[in-house]
């Protein structure tokens, strides 16, 4: 018999704690409006989590930039003798087990962390339920304790960040004249990765995908840039409706951010 309830009355962190302490195996289904998520546990440890329906290993690894479609096709052609797709990828040396663990762990953890912000939502826990054979399952399961602590910490940080960055669909662009707050700024390697991707066109989600960082980490870093007076975040402009005369015209190239502006900011920071 399934266990059902609402996370408004029984928090996600409390439920994860009980799954961990009870060494539970099964699937946790979460629904809030149009949003859905599913988590699978094996003896209290997390082995899979997704907020997309029918998330499969191969397609996920392509989306994360770890495989090309050609490599996935090659692996599927070589898949035989009951081997899973992940086992085939590793045996064909298309990806190492460490790379697979890192990619899936980041995806699964980020899927879970986003759920801690849900103020309510229906849950259903199916005892003994297991993910499909094609689902992206962790080679090494993830302990729940760290997920709980990090998830709770992010709730507090998100509240502060969202005052300046209400959505990951916003665009980041440089400020022409960095203010006094920019003086003395020193960037860590991850901050440089984000800084180098700011072009006035990409959203925070785009930057996260291109840097292989989580959306939370990108927002946290950009929040620091905003506070330092280096950048600003703006709403993504809505595409203008095409007029009858414009439908046959050649598409206009979007305006490019002047490289001199980026270079001036980079040189200024390096010289501080």
| Mean pLDDT value across residues 23-29 | 94
pLDDT tens-digit readout, 83-120? 788 888 888 899 998 998 888 888 888 889 888 888 89
pLDDT tens per residue, range 252-271: 554 454 555 556 555 655 55
Cα 247 to Cα 217: distance, rounded to the nearest angstrom: 40
What percent of the chain is predicted at pLDDT more than 90? 30
d(CA 255, CA 237): 13
Dist CA 47 CA 255 (whole Å): 44
Give 173's Cβ-side CA count (13 Å radius). Answer: 13
Alpha carbon 109 to its chain centroid, in Å, reads 9
Of the ranges 65-69, 163-167, 203-207, 214-218, the best mean pLDDT one:
203-207
Please name the residues in contact with 158: beta carbons below 8 A apart, sequence gap of 6 or more: 117, 216
Q: Could you tell me the residue ranges of all domains in the chain?
A: 3-156, 171-239+254-270
Tens digits of per-residue pLDDT, 112-154? Answer: 988 888 889 999 999 999 988 778 888 889 999 888 888 888 8
pTM, full prediction: 0.65
Q: Exposure string (b/e) for 99-133, b if CB count within 10 Å is 16 or more?
A: ebeebbbebbbbbbbbbbebeebebebbeebbbee
* pLDDT value at 7 more than 80: yes
């Amino acid at each position: 018999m399934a266990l059902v309830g609402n996370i408004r009355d029984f928090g996600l962190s409390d439920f994860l704690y009980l799954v961990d302490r009870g060494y539970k195996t099964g699937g946790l289904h979460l629904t809030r409006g149009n949003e859905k998520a599913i988590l699978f546990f094996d003896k209290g440890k997390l082995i899979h989590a997704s907020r997309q329906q029918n998330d499969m290993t191969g397609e996920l690894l392509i989306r994360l930039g770890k495989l090309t479609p050609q490599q996935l096709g090659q692996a599927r052609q070589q898949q035989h003798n009951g081997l899973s797709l992940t086992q085939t990828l590793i045996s064909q040396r298309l990806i190492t087990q460490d790379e697979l663990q890192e990619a899936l762990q980041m995806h699964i953890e980020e899927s879970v962390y986003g759920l801690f912000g849900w103020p309510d939502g229906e849950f259903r826990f199916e005892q003994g339920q297991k993910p499909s054979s094609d689902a992206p399952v962790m080679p090494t399961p993830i302990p729940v304790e760290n997920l709980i602590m990090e998830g709770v910490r992010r709730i507090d940080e998100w509240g502060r960040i969202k005052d300046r960055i209400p959505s990951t669909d916003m665009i980041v662009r440089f400020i022409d004249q960095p203010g006094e707050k920019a003086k003395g700024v020193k960037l860590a390697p991850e901050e440089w990765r984000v800084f180098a991707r700011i072009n006035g066109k990409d959203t925070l989600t785009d930057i996260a995908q291109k840097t292989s960082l989580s959306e939370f980490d990108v927002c946290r870093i950009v929040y620091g840039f905003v506070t330092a007076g280096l950048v600003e975040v703006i709403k993504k402009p809505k595409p203008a409706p095409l007029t009858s005369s414009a439908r046959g015209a050649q598409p206009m190239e979007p305006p490019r951010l002047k490289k001199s502006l980026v270079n001036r900011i980079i040189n200024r920071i390096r010289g501080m």
